[in-house]
Amino acid sequence: MKSGKWNYRVAAVLAAVLMLTGCGTAGNKPAAQATAAPTHEVSAASANAPAGTSEHRIVSTTVAITQIMDLLELDLVGIPKSVKTLPERYQDVTKVGNPMSPDMELVKSLKPTDVLSVTTLQYELEPVFKNAGIDGQFLNLTSLESMQAEITKLGEKYDRVEQAAAIVKDYDNKLKKIGEATAGKEQPTVLILLGVPGSYLVATEHSYIGDLVRLLGGENIAQGEKVEFLASNTEHLQKSNPDVILRAAHGMPEEVVKMFDEEFKKNDIWKHFKAVQNGRVYDLEEKLFGTTGNMLVGEALEALLPMLYP
């Protein structure tokens, strides 16, 4: 799985994930389709709108960061374009494009003091920001711990220390309750598949969903890696024989779930997986299980709990 061919496949699928989920999509379960919230047109007036404080004019380029800024009670002059429901506070704020390819001319016209993105997009966006003369800031939201640390830093920077501390404490309390609920229970082994139309990857413990599984006491079968995702090798995966298989569908969830169903039906090797034999294969709702941390982490942990500990 470390050959150039596999590395190319990983890069291609991750690019597809970023492209398809960049604008945000409505969360879907196989049996129920969510209704997408209507988007708002770009507001020219927000170029002169006040930000959190008079010295800050903040542009958020991802949905997760926008949610965080709302809980910190900070105004923004720019937000991402998304079909996901964004906080009402920002309904008239200028939309600067999808997270993977924001409109840099529009961003510059807002005269921002801070432009925020995430580390999972840093490789693609850092040169774009530099070419536009913008010093972008990339927040690490790949785990709950790193997200809490970023929230604390934002609270300190924008004079929202109390709000940040309350958010962090709330998640600490959730983790304490989950620890009590899973204490003494046998640790399940888990395989996490991240899918986009046409392909899928294996998520390691370094991915956001992998971190959620770890927090719940699950053991990710993709151990000992430094990356977030790996190319899939079903024969290798079958040898690990996980107790649980989690399938995260992104971009076009219903289409990806059908792809997974076809793969599990046509590829004979899947029927030899213990998780398949025992009916412990679960499709994760995209709204809760994104590729980076977000404000729905508590709900995501609660949704995972019965999957790992039925």
List the structure tokens of 284: 């994760």
CB 140 within 8 A of CB 116: no
In a domain, 180, yes or no: no
Same domain, 52 and 161: yes
Tell which residue, 255, 230, 241, 236, has the closest CA to residue 190: 241
Burial profile 265-290: b = 16 or more Cβ within 10 angstroms, e = fewer: eeeeebeebebbeeebbbbbbbbbbb
Strand partners, 220: 190
- For 235-248, the pLDDT digits (tens) are 889 999 999 999 99
At 287 the pLDDT is 87
In a domain, 51, yes or no: yes
- For 261-284, the pLDDT digits (tens) are 999 999 999 999 999 999 999 999
Strand partners, 246: 192, 282
Same domain, 190 and 164: no
Same domain, 224 and 278: yes
pLDDT of 296 strictly over 80 = yes
Same domain, 199 and 224: yes
Q: Residue 187 phi/psi, 5° resolution?
A: -75, 120
Say which DSSP state 53 is in: S
pTM: 0.82
Same domain, 200 and 161: no
Q: Which of 149, 173, 197 marks a domain boundary?
A: 173
* Cα 81 from Cα 84, distance rounded (Å): 9
- First-to-final CA distance of the chain: 33
Same domain, 283 and 194: yes
- For 186-207, the pLDDT digits (tens) are 999 999 999 988 889 999 999 9
Same domain, 211 and 249: yes
In a domain, 256, yes or no: yes
Q: Which of 173, 193, 211 marks a domain boundary?
A: 173
* Total number of residues shown for the chain: 310
Tell which residue, 30, 267, 298, has the closest CA to residue 147: 298
Say which DSSP state 198 is in: T
Q: Which residues contact 251 (CB under 8 A, 6 or more apart)?
A: 16, 17, 19, 20, 21, 25, 196, 197
pLDDT of 225 strictly over 90 = no
- Give residue 232's domain range: 4-17+26-30+185-308
Tell which residue, 123, 115, 130, 105, has the closest CA to residue 42: 105
In a domain, 244, yes or no: yes
Same domain, 160 and 44: yes
Strands (E), 17-143: 28-29, 32-33, 58-60, 78-79, 94-95, 114-118, 137-139
Residue 246, SS3 per DSSP:
strand
At 163, which CATH number? 3.40.50.1980
Same domain, 261 and 191: yes
CB 74 within 8 A of CB 90: no
In a domain, 220, yes or no: yes
pLDDT of 291 strictly over 60 = yes
Same domain, 219 and 150: no
What is the domain count for the chain? Answer: 2
* Cα 84 from Cα 64, distance rounded (Å): 11
Same domain, 71 and 168: yes
In a domain, 56, yes or no: yes
Q: Which of 111, 138, 173 marks a domain boundary?
A: 173
Segment 117-131 mean pLDDT: 95
Same domain, 166 and 251: no
In a domain, 178, yes or no: no
- For 42-59, the pLDDT digits (tens) are 343 344 444 444 589 999
- For 133-144, the pLDDT digits (tens) are 999 999 999 999
Cα dihedral sign, 263-268-274-280: positive
Cα dihedral sign, 90-58-41-286: negative
Strand pairing report for 229-231 and 281-284: unpaired
Helix (H) or strand (E) holding 283: strand 281-284
Segment 216-233 mean pLDDT: 90
In a domain, 179, yes or no: no
